[in-house]
Amino acid sequence: MIWRKDEAETASGEHMAPPARERKDKQMADNGEVTIVGAGARLEGNVVSAGSLRIDGQVKGQINADGDVTLSPQSQVEADIRAQNVSVAGRFNGNIVVKDRAHLAKGGRIDGNITSKTLVVEEGGVFHGQSIMDAGASSGSRSSGQGGSSSTGSAGTETKDPDHVKV
């Protein structure tokens, strides 16, 4: 007999699945699952995740996640990312737009622009681009005249006009 996590056992030892509504509620509650792109994987195109995403391999294209995106130290990503939060410990080339927090870990490298509410750069991380600190980061845009800050990374890039940043 194969046991499934979503099956219930009655007192008499019989098995019965919970009603469809309970299964649907459970699936919605389990939406915090993490999709993993393994170390040997190479993906090209659009990656869409209803939950969080961890990338250990290589991705080239677009990444959209309703949850968080984590790039592990061995990852190599050339893409534009839209997500709730992003953490980069590997090599990333592209633009990042997050609703909350962007994190660059020690040993990670970002070549591109970041739009977020919060940016954390650990010592030993290399950021080569611009940071736009925007409370409305989820929209991915800001009107001219709205407050925001721009900075360059530790690699010493030249400062660009923040109104001409492609995000």
What pLDDT is stored for residue 68 in this prediction?
97
Residue 158 lies in a domain: no
What pLDDT is stored for residue 41 in this prediction?
93
What pLDDT is stored for residue 31 in this prediction?
54
d(C-alpha 164, C-alpha 127), whole Å = 19
Residue 14 lies in a domain: no
**Is residue 163 classed as helix, strand or coil in its secondary structure?**
helix
What's this model's pTM, rounded to 2 decimal places? Answer: 0.65
Residue 95 lies in a domain: yes
Residue 99 lies in a domain: yes
Residue 166 lies in a domain: no
For residue 147, count CB atoms less than 10 angstroms from its CB and return exposed for 0-12, middle for 13-18, buried for 19 or more: exposed
d(C-alpha 153, C-alpha 160), whole Å = 12
What pLDDT is stored for residue 33 in this prediction?
82
Under-70 pLDDT residues of the chain: 1-32, 135-167
What pLDDT is stored for residue 137 in this prediction?
53
For CA atoms 21, 27, 28, 29, the dihedral sign is positive
Residue 75 lies in a domain: yes
- Provide the H-helix boundaries in the chain: 20-29
Domain housing 97: 33-138
Residue 25 lies in a domain: no
Residue 8 lies in a domain: no
